[in-house]
């Protein structure tokens, strides 16, 4: 199976490992990137022969000249929809990074492309594919909890500085942290609940990663480089944390909220609340949810790698301990890779189809609009 990659950055470099390590006959035939030499240097750190991969600066040229079995898109988010439309026009299997689009017009373009294409699209939503989420779904669908009537979800991000040190801080590129982060969690909630979201409200705050440092200030040029708790020096030397980017997290040009919450009403009238923040650290990390029915409550946390079922009418708590927390995206990336291989072989349908990406992205766009306007926003997927 020969794949082409449009936009070969960190995420595609990382996900390609998941495809290659499965040893199922996948090879990289071509890469299109606006910085081909940089992409080549990154790709060739793997055990790939240089003369087996062709590099392009233009995605159209790659798609025109290459005979491909599948395409992966890992460009900046603002190009996801446009590049996806090009691939779908050729009816090729597609692995599409999230968010699938960053504007309403992006989502409309994708819906139009989907109506005219036979492409099977695998959206990069690893959370719903994790062993933990699969177990939670099995328990919920068994009826042990009764019907789910209330959901409380949270994501306390322990590596939040990446959204202020690096390109993510540019909201013209990232379009905010509901799209960048909540899109995963809201998709997983939609999957677990199995209902259609119809209305959202939201609120966001920026109280921590703000300040009066000069725009575009680099950490290494700041007099507080050795003492600032967010400098790469302190994070790496004393906190043993990985750092991506070195722009000042307290500059006047730092975008993105640092905490936000979304309230979602579903078609039956039940509601879910999801909250995220980006300054939690270490053991304060939490990513999971409580799904509550009349008969019982299910709670899970990907970091703790555990599912608990609290029965409401008997003195019983069932605990399930998994062993997936240290796997890439808690085991979800391997499942995505296997599914994409099956899609390219024609033996499987996508488990995270384009419709899931559009639904989640629209929820995030509406959440941002709701937060900015202090209003409820209707989710219309027609």
Q: Which uninterrupted H or E stretch holds 11? A: helix 10-20
pLDDT given for residue 327 in this prediction: 87
Q: Is the dihedral of CA 18, 22, 26, 27 positive or negative?
A: positive
The yes or no reply on domain 2-125+333-352 and CATH 3.40.50.720 is yes
For the entire predicted model, the pTM comes to 0.95
pLDDT tens string, the chain, 382 residues long: the values are: 999 999 999 899 999 999 999 999 999 999 999 999 999 999 989 988 888 999 999 999 999 999 999 999 999 999 999 999 999 999 999 999 999 999 999 999 999 999 999 999 999 999 999 999 999 999 999 999 999 999 999 999 999 999 999 999 999 999 999 999 999 999 999 999 999 999 999 999 999 999 999 999 999 999 999 999 999 999 888 887 878 899 999 999 999 999 999 999 999 999 999 999 999 999 999 999 999 999 999 999 999 999 999 999 999 999 999 998 888 899 999 999 999 999 999 999 999 999 999 999 999 999 999 999 999 999 987 6
Q: 320: helix, coil or strand?
A: strand
pLDDT given for residue 382 in this prediction: 66
Token pair 């990663």 in the structure block, residue: 209
Partnered with residue 260 across adjacent β-strands are: 204, 276
Give the residue extent of every domain in the chain.
2-125+333-352, 128-210+256-325+361-378, 211-253
CB distance 71 to 63 below 8 Å:
yes
pLDDT given for residue 238 in this prediction: 87
Which CATH fold would you assign to the domain 128-210+256-325+361-378?
Dihydrodipicolinate Reductase; domain 2 (3.30.360)
């Amino acid at each position: 199976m020969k794949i082409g990659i449009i936009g070969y950055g960190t995420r595609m470099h990382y996900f390609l490992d998941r495809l290659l390590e499965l040893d199922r006959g996948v090879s990289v035939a071509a890469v299109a990137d606006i910085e081909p030499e940089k992409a080549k240097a990154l790709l060739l750190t793997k055990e790939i022969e240089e003369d087996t991969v062709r590099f392009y600066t233009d995605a159209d040229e790659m798609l025109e000249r290459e005979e491909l079995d599948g395409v992966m898109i890992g460009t900046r988010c603002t190009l996801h929809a446009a590049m996806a439309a090009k691939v779908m026009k050729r009816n090729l299997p597609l692995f599409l990074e999230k968010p699938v689009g960053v504007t309403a017009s992006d989502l409309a373009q994708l819906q139009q492309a989907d109506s005219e294409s036979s492409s099977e699209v695998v959206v990069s939503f690893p959370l719903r594919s994790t062993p933990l989420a699969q177990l939670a779904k099995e328990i919920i669908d068994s009826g042990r909890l009764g019907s789910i009537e209330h959901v409380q979800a949270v994501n306390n991000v322990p590596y939040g500085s990446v959204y202020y040190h690096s390109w993510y801080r540019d909201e013209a590129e990232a379009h905010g942290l509901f799209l960048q982060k909540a899109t995963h969690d809201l998709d997983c909630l939609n999957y677990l609940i199995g209902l259609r979201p119809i209305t959202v409200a939201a609120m966001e705050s920026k109280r921590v990663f703000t300040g009066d440092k000069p725009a575009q200030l680099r950490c290494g040029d700041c007099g507080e480089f050795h003492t600032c708790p967010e400098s790469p020096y302190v994070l790496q030397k004393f906190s043993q944390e990985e750092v991506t980017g070195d722009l000042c997290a307290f500059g006047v040009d730092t975008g993105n909220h640092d905490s936000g919450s979304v309230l979602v009403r579903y078609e039956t009238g039940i509601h879910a609340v999801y909250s995220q923040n980006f300054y939690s650290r270490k053991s304060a990390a939490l990513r999971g949810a409580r799904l509550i029915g009349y008969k019982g409550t299910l709670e899970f946390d990907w970091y703790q790698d555990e599912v608990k079922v609290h029965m409401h009418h008997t003195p019983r708590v069932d605990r399930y301990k998994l062993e997936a927390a240290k796997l890439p995206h808690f085991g979800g990336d391997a499942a995505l890779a296997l599914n994409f291989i099956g899609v390219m072989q024609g033996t499987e349908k996508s488990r995270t189809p384009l419709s899931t990406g559009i639904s989640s992205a629209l929820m995030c766009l509406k959440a941002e609009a709701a937060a900015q306007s202090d209003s409820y926003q209707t989710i219309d997927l027609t």
